[in-house]
A and B are shown apart, each in its own frame.
Chain A
């Protein structure tokens, strides 16, 4: 029993603990988000915008995107840009409440949720394409037939559609509501289905934005890594460099997304089982959500580094974009040595069947 300051109250002259059962005041949580935000946020936004805008410029100025991975990287940058564009609105919302009306609230929430999901699904798609590059050596990938490109477009459209589907609840339920002396843009569910809906959505988000992409990435990159380490005709340091990129991709994904999704899972369990009954624990969970969600969002700033700058000959492209067109795909693995990129032509046939027929079909440029 805590008996605080209530001895001198005329209301409570007994030691019954009403303070314990009072409303949990989250003002400290709300102010936590609104104080430090604007300054640091601006820096992060600039970084994210610069990196992703550069990716978009370089990839659209290319005559054609060579692989599905290229296309996914372009889509990823666009998706990250859209996600970053919503951040100033959330910052303003955190500082002085939502002042832009219900339609803007719905649209911004939808954009945020859709592009968050889209980014994660695209990451999974990139890993699948890299796996395909290693697993399927012949045909398809190198042939630039229009039907192949149509397939890529279909894949990307499919991913955006799935992401939009995940954004739909936000579009429907987000609304501007008056709370704690200001307007807030937040989801309000119909009371009859509020708790199941909240829990189901959190779990669905954890599965589709984290578990599924993560498992796909791990499985695909394990395969790619195995194929890389066994590949013949590739220099040791180049192999190691490519493996390091793959490791970084998975590690950064785990580092940024795992904490956020653990907190989300805790919140989902709390919605279902009402586990949190202490105010301090509840505030701690909210603060954890704020921090881990920011960390998860930082992935949008890191993506250009991980996927575009670190691998491929992206840097070369920025410097001498025009010169390099057409010269990049080399059929002979030993010819690519002068390029400082992590681009490896795997010659799979030589190790499995030792059948060296038509060079162009046996080899596949594997871009990381």
Chain B
């Protein structure tokens, strides 16, 4: 009987042992389909989300002036265009002092 009590106690102490591996990174889970021009104007940078780590889908993460992250499909034409626009804009601002 004593062993059963000990056993149940053990189970409960171990139950709370929260040491799961994994880094639990922030990920995009779905894409926006379109984006208003007013929003596009406010995009300051983007990064690629790859599937190599915690995330399960490739995505382009646009960041707006207000630090809002928006997920877009890297296969969409408008996304590719927008990435080029941001690249060009950032190249220009890197030569002159940035106001952002």
Contacts and interface: CB of A to CB of B under 8 A. Distances in A.
A282 B52 contact: no
Given A21-B71, A22-B68, A177-B23, 9 more contacts: A14-B38, A16-B36, A26-B26, A90-B20, A90-B21, A189-B51, A189-B53, A286-B22, A297-B17
Contacts of B24: 26, 29-30, 33, 286
Q: Name the prevailing secondary structure of the B interface residues.
A: loop
A91 B28 CA distance: 27
Nearest to A90: B19
B56 interface: yes
Closest 3 CB pairs of A and B: A298-B14, A184-B23, A290-B20
B69 A23 contact: yes
A24 B16 CA distance: 26
Contacts of A278: 29
Contact of A189 (B52, B61, B65): B52
Interface residues of A, number: 69
A302 B8 CA distance: 10
18 contacts: A9-B66, A21-B28, A21-B30, A25-B26, A30-B24, A37-B19, A47-B10, A90-B19, A177-B53, A179-B25, A180-B25, A198-B51, A295-B15, A297-B17, A302-B10, A305-B3, A305-B10, A309-B3
Interface in A25-56: 25-27, 29-30, 32-33, 36-37, 40-41, 43-44, 47-48
Contacts of B3: 305, 309-310
Nearest to A42: B17
Contacts, number: 171
Interface string A155-198: 00000000000000000000001011000111111110011001
B6 A194 contact: no
B70 to A, nearest CB: 5
Given A13-B38, A271-B56, A309-B3, A298 B11 contact: yes
Contact of A11 (B7, B23, B29, B66): B66
A291 B70 CA distance: 30
A286 B22 CA distance: 9
Contacts of B27: 23-24, 26, 282
B42 interface: yes
A270 B65 CA distance: 32
Interface string B63-75: 0111011111000
Contacts of B65: 11
Contact of B18 (A16, A23, A24, A33): A33
Contact of B39 (A11, A190, A286): A11
B18 A305 contact: no
Interface string A88-108: 001100100000000000000
B20 A18 contact: no
Interface in B28-62: 28-32, 36, 38-39, 42, 50-54, 56-57, 61
Contacts of A91: 19
B78 to A, nearest CB: 14
Nearest to B6: A305
Nearest to A27: B26
B99 interface: no
B13 interface: yes
Contacts of B21: 90, 109, 112, 186, 293
A189 B50 CA distance: 10
